[in-house]
Amino acid sequence: MTTIAAATARLVDIEVETPRTDAVQAFLKQETLFVQLDTADGLTGYGYSYTIGTGGRAVLSMLNEHLLPKLLGADARNVEALWFELFASTRATTTGAITSLALAAIDTALWDLKAKRANEPLWQAAGGFRRAVPLYDTEGGWLHLSTDDLVREALASQARGWPGVKIKVGKPRAAEDLARLRAVREAVGPDMDLMVDANQSLTISEARRRAALFEPLDLSWFEEPMPADDVEGHALLAAGTSIPIAVGESMYSIAQFRSYLSRQAASIVQVDVARVGGITPWLKVAHLAEANNVTVCPHFLMELHVSLVAATPAGGYVEHIPQLRAVTSSEMAIRDGQAIAPTTPGLGINWNLNALDNRTVA
């Protein structure tokens, strides 16, 4: 029987692996929502989503009090129907972060079951376009790092054969951002992709000014220059700069991506599987991007996103920010600057259940 016999959730705190700061916040810890679904025929699916320090207990409450009880007795194979039914049952709180994060924890567990039942790795179960995808590093580009630190880390990534690095921007003065970026560009030369991320910290006028300053550096994209709900501002910026505009990590529905794409307000889509509500809507955004000739380079969660980027023709880069090593027994494979999607059936994440137990807080 493929019916769901048990559905449980817990909150796991995972310490950050390195200090992380940007123009608006610090990443203090990963509050991880962890869902386990057991079927009557003996399969177990594991799913997860996250916050970077706040709101985890609110998501856990949504799961335990409202969503998980609705799964009992349901056929785990009906992933689309279950996602729609759960979403429809939360009309009062959609579209929003709490509901999307809760749905994502369940949906990733359902996809884990789906792929395991088919005896396929996620990258094939979700589309199977290619197994290896290019990798760029963010861990060496945080805002608190010195210019010397940025250069050293970028050169280390280049020596490893990684094709790109991302630098955080949003210093009080544009000249400081420019000097830091110029130092990195001069160090790595013209053949390495260089991205920047303002984390929604700028006004439209300041974003325009900094984009003009950055243009000679041949940037691969300018990420989240303004608040994510400012579609019109991003459209104006995109029309006035040669730098590709990237958005998506702070969007929680397919419709938000449609709005950006219909306005030609972004040419890099950074859809986050946890924040958009799971693999089911993530794939729809990826296909929407493909239909609009736009590349998908998702935010964070490299251990899961490697398989999803590998699944779709629109897939581009995977972002290197390791964060699950404390609770897993294996790491994402990297070879010749490429992230390699795992071949084990399911999500391909080998959870260390004892480590999860030790870090469970609710």
What residues are annotated to the active site?
Answer: 168, 299
Backbone angles phi, psi at 335, to 5 degrees: -145, 125
**Helical residues (DSSP H) of the chain, grouped into ranges:** 56-62, 68-71, 79-88, 97-118, 122-125, 147-159, 174-188, 204-214, 231-240, 254-262, 279-291, 302-311, 353-359
Q: What angle separates helix 231-240 from helix 254-262, to the nearest 10 degrees?
A: 40
- The string of DSSP codes covering 241-270 is -SSPEEE-TT--SHHHHHHHHHTT--SEE-
Q: What sign does the dihedral 313-221-278-34 (CA atoms) show?
A: positive
Q: Which residue has the tokens 């985890």?
A: 56
- Is residue 344 reached through a cis peptide bond, with omega within 30 degrees of 0 on the bond before it? no
